[in-house]
Structure 1
Amino acid sequence: MQTAAQQEKQSLADRIGIPRPLLWGFIGLLLFMIGDGVEAGYLAPFLEGQGHSSTQVALLFTIYGVAVSLSSWLSGPLSDLWGPKKVMWVGLWIWGIFEVFFLVFGLQPNNYPMMIAAYTARGLGYPLFAYGFLVWIAAATPARQLGSAAGWFWFAFSGGLPTLGSLFASFAIPRIGEMGTFWSSLALVMVGGLVALLCTHEPRGTQRLSPPDVTLKQAMFGSISIIWREPKTLIAGLVRTINTSSEYAFLVIMPGVFTKVVGFSLEQWLQLLSIVFLSNIIFNLLSGMMADRFGPRAVVAVGGGLGAAISVPLFYYVPLSMPHNFPIAAAMGILYGAALAAFVPLSGLMPQVCPKEKAAALSILGLGAGASTWVGPAIVTWFEGWHGVEGVIWIFSGLYVLSAVMTLAITVSPEARAYIRRSEAVSQSDREAAMHAAGNQ
């Protein structure tokens, strides 16, 4: 029997939207993503300082993003076949091993081909860890709590990448140097991964999620064929791609804008980046909770699509018109971070759109999230020569308007709603039977 203190602890977690059995997974994810995000705000200027052109830096990020996209998609079918926890273990070790290769054979000798090879391979790691955990959340969380649980997932995800990661870097670089800070990111990732995997014991994560007769080929094909079997997943994947594509583009172009034109120091830029994504993680939670109350489509379309279409130009033009004004730049960044957070309810919506194939539906969202890591830098590579940074800004603003329109087509069918009600009734019955059996012991 559980003690009153344990029951109170569980009820508190439930009230704030965290599935209690997964609590340590959220904590570990936050630490992991802090480590992954340490380099986010200063890798581009570091490489340019080593003599690499902005085009070479954008190419590095673009190829890395392709690897992230592939791994993000694989996280779904592999979690179905192996169980999410095993997928997370694979992701953790890929990240750790290839980060060592990136630092020792790429950055330290300033070997650009080795940088591309090791950084691309490392890009396979974090999506398996992070999106494997997202599949675990979808498998173990009731539908009524999915919006809030998704909000907490993105709170931990973006709380690390790049919010607290960049903040950590801004304090670490003056004290232990740039290379020392890169090495510290490896330690944070490994600690976070071990906390999540060794301290989380929720049983669904260790189990195969797909039926025993489903083969690897069938699982892989199913995670792609769902695009035409349920076209709403394709729409959601495209919306998710647009969601954070500007973020990854800004990590390439905005350090130069704010340090060379607006007049900030590198430390100020890193602190501004942390403020932007502090806003993002706060609104990750709020948007998830608002989605549970008002519906996810409204939050994504209005707060996300239209909000980002307005805040992206503001984040560029207002600081340019008021150089050296950190509070004004921070205010514009807060609006931008909040708008990106309003896309969070997509992660709670997709398991409801496809309740029989949650992992496959989430794999398309993961593919979209991964695609944004290379689509953003690719837009910079392709279009910066057109009208400079200003042209890139307006391309993203138009894409966000398009995302708002597309979101309106992502609806939950009556058949899916009926399936969810039946599944939750069965789960509730099983829980009550288990509690009754425990009480009789």
Structure 2
Amino acid sequence: MEKLTDKHTFLDKIGIPSNLIWGFIGIIIFMIGEGLEQGWLSPYLIERGVTIENSSLMFSVYGIATAIAAWLSGVFVQTIGPKKTMLVGLIMFIIGTILFIGLGIGPLNFHVMLLTYLVRGLGYPLFAFGFLTWVTYSTGQNKLASAMGWFYFVMSLGMNVVGPFIAGYTIPVIGNIQTLWLSLFFVTLGGIVAIALNRAKFDLSKVSSGNKKEELLKGITILYRKPKVSLGVLVKIINPVAVFGFAIFLPTYLVDYGFSTSEWLQLYSAMFMVAIIFNVVFGFLSDKIGWRTTIAWFGGVGSAIATLIVYYTPQVFGHNYTMMLIAVCLSGATLAGYVPLSALLPSLAPKDKGAAMSALNLGSGLSSFLAPALVGSLIRIIGTNGVVFVFVILYLVGAVITAFLKLPNETVNDGDIKQTASV
């Protein structure tokens, strides 16, 4: 297994393992394919006759699938190696996509859509987080945080920025279904680049513990062995709740104020572009003012305020693209306020950092389940206005919880260690 230690290429100096550069490029391309559906699939299905409750259920099931796959990706790498793990993810994504479009969306068979979207949801975390685990094993400790930051940068760039941006232009030209089919081109190309062109070596014998069951269970048992880790996972789940929730009902909400689907996709893409930039900003800032302070005030309180601004901006300004762009960019910036959480959480369990990261991955996956579940169960009862205030309350609760996430060594300032990550 190649390890980044004393290499001095430009890529290594900025924190990107040069031996895995094709993997990073492949992740961007693959995640573009995953991101082509971001922000428009739910309103499209609702427009074709799927109820908002069923649409929310489908995305909730998808969230559960991604959570399970994200949690298992590390164990798969330790069992069969990173390339095989990524290949399994790629195959599952391709099969799930073909069946989802051909047998599900085409005839609008909801039960088929539910099952095949679940299979699709199992695919991308195995591919992406399988590579992330490879990066973890192949990078020297002095550059590990930077490598993690670059991984989340390219992943978010493909899925949340470039993918929706491309869809915003392809949907008016070739249509929704053809745009979904286009995802197969990107994920296949990304898979070839990340797996076939990537010549880095991985020695499985050096990372296999021999007791896969025990290692697998650590990702769950740490939640009660280290209660602060559990609290941190709750904060991680809350982190993107408004963004995922907005993806379900905000496009339809904005239509009432004159916004088109293309405009929404451009706004959605801009939100994540700003988030990517502020990942770096809050990475540096949190080293100065502390991880918990950044998470609580910029992440929690900031996201609560930004959520209200996004929702009420069209009510105040109508179809004003510029004001809406400012609002969603503010939301993207505060979304990045949770960046230090990926440094803080493993630091809460210094002897079980791997298990803590598994718990963090589980929280990341469950976050994509919470928002659709809340929207589906509450929107008919309390309306979009009520759902937005539920999001706000969750963010404020998360800010309060963050105050209790103190490091084991109270003499060490939680801002002394720099680590960049992404949402």
Relative to the length of structure 2, the TM-score reads 0.88
Q: Does 1:254 align with 2:254?
A: no
User: Which residue of 372, 384, 388 maps to 2:383?
Assistant: 388
Pair 1:62–1:347, CA change in 2 (3 A):
same
Q: Distance in 2 between matches of 1:362 and 1:318?
A: 37
Q: Distance in 1 between matches of 2:145 and 2:400?
A: 21
Letter in 2 for 1:255: P
- Residue aligned with 1:410, SS: coil
Tell me the CA shift for residue 20 of structure 1.
3.1
Deviations 1:148-203 (A, max 9, x none): 33332222222122221111101111222211111111111121222222333444
Q: Distance in 2 between matches of 1:184 and 1:405?
A: 43
Letter in 2 for 1:27: I
Q: Are the counterparts in 2 of residues 150 and 347 from structure 1 also a CA contact under 8 Å?
A: no
Aligned positions of 1:57-96 closer than 5 A:
57-96=55-94
Tell me the CA shift for residue 267 of structure 1.
0.9
Tell me the CA shift for residue 295 of structure 1.
4.3
Aligned positions of 1:194-343 closer than 5 A:
194-204=192-202, 207=204, 210-214=207-211, 216-259=212-255, 261-291=256-286, 294-343=289-338
Letter in 1 for 2:372: P
- Residue aligned with 1:17, SS: coil
Q: Distance in 2 between matches of 1:52 and 1:299?
A: 40
Tell me the CA shift for residue 296 of structure 1.
3.2
Pair 1:13–1:356, CA change in 2 (3 A):
farther
Which shows bigger deviation, 169-178 or 402-411? 402-411
Deviations 1:236-285 (A, max 9, x none): 211111112222211111111112x2210111111111111111121223
Deviations 1:283-321 (A, max 9, x none): 223333444555433332222122111111111112221
Q: Distance in 1 between matches of 2:200 and 2:343?
A: 20
- Residue aligned with 2:175, SS: helix
Tell me the CA shift for residue 78 of structure 1.
2.6
User: Which residue of 40, 43, 62 maps to 2:41?
Assistant: 43
Pair 1:161–1:385, CA change in 2 (3 A):
same
In the other structure, the counterpart of 2:158 is 160
Which shows bigger deviation, 235-244 or 352-361? 352-361
In the other structure, the counterpart of 1:98 is 96
In the other structure, the counterpart of 2:117 is 119
Gaps of 5+ in 1: 1-5, 418-441
In the other structure, the counterpart of 1:421 is none
In the other structure, the counterpart of 2:131 is 133
Letter in 2 for 1:388: G
In the other structure, the counterpart of 1:348 is 343
Q: Are the counterparts in 2 of residues 39 and 166 from structure 1 also a CA contact under 8 Å?
A: yes
User: Which residue of 368, 372, 378 maps to 2:367?
Assistant: 372
Pair 1:202–1:406, CA change in 2 (3 A):
farther
Letter in 1 for 2:47: G
Count of residues in correspondence between the two structures: 406
Q: Are the counterparts in 2 of residues 226 and 233 from structure 1 also a CA contact under 8 Å?
A: yes
In the other structure, the counterpart of 1:439 is none
Q: Are the counterparts in 2 of residues 33 and 160 from structure 1 also a CA contact under 8 Å?
A: yes
User: Which residue of 397, 401, 404 maps to 2:396?
Assistant: 401
Q: Distance in 1 between matches of 2:296 and 2:205?
A: 35
In the other structure, the counterpart of 1:437 is none
Q: Are the counterparts in 1 of residues 53 and 377 from structure 2 also a CA contact under 8 Å?
A: no
Letter in 2 for 1:207: L
Pair 1:22–1:234, CA change in 2 (3 A):
farther
- Residue aligned with 2:319, SS: coil
In the other structure, the counterpart of 2:28 is 30
Tell me the CA shift for residue 324 of structure 1.
0.8
Pair 1:32–1:294, CA change in 2 (3 A):
farther
Deviations 1:68-94 (A, max 9, x none): 122122123333333344322221111
Q: Distance in 2 between matches of 1:163 and 1:72?
A: 21
Q: Distance in 1 between matches of 2:139 and 2:236?
A: 22
Pair 1:74–1:87, CA change in 2 (3 A):
same
- Residue aligned with 2:338, SS: coil
Q: Are the counterparts in 2 of residues 155 and 285 from structure 1 also a CA contact under 8 Å?
A: no
Pair 1:326–1:382, CA change in 2 (3 A):
same
Letter in 1 for 2:273: L
Tell me the CA shift for residue 228 of structure 1.
1.8
Pair 1:209–1:313, CA change in 2 (3 A):
farther
In the other structure, the counterpart of 2:146 is 148
- Residue aligned with 2:240, SS: helix
Structure with bigger helix share is 1
Q: Distance in 1 between matches of 2:288 and 2:15?
A: 13
Pair 1:234–1:64, CA change in 2 (3 A):
same
Which shows bigger deviation, 358-367 or 323-332? 358-367
Which shows bigger deviation, 186-195 or 264-273? 186-195
Q: Distance in 1 between matches of 2:81 and 2:288?
A: 31
Aligned positions of 1:175-186 closer than 5 A:
175-186=173-184
Identity %: 39
Tell me the CA shift for residue 385 of structure 1.
2.6
Q: Are the counterparts in 2 of residues 151 and 287 from structure 1 also a CA contact under 8 Å?
A: no
Gaps of 5+ in 2: 1-5, 413-423
Tell me the CA shift for residue 354 of structure 1.
3.8
Q: Are the counterparts in 2 of residues 150 and 344 from structure 1 also a CA contact under 8 Å?
A: no
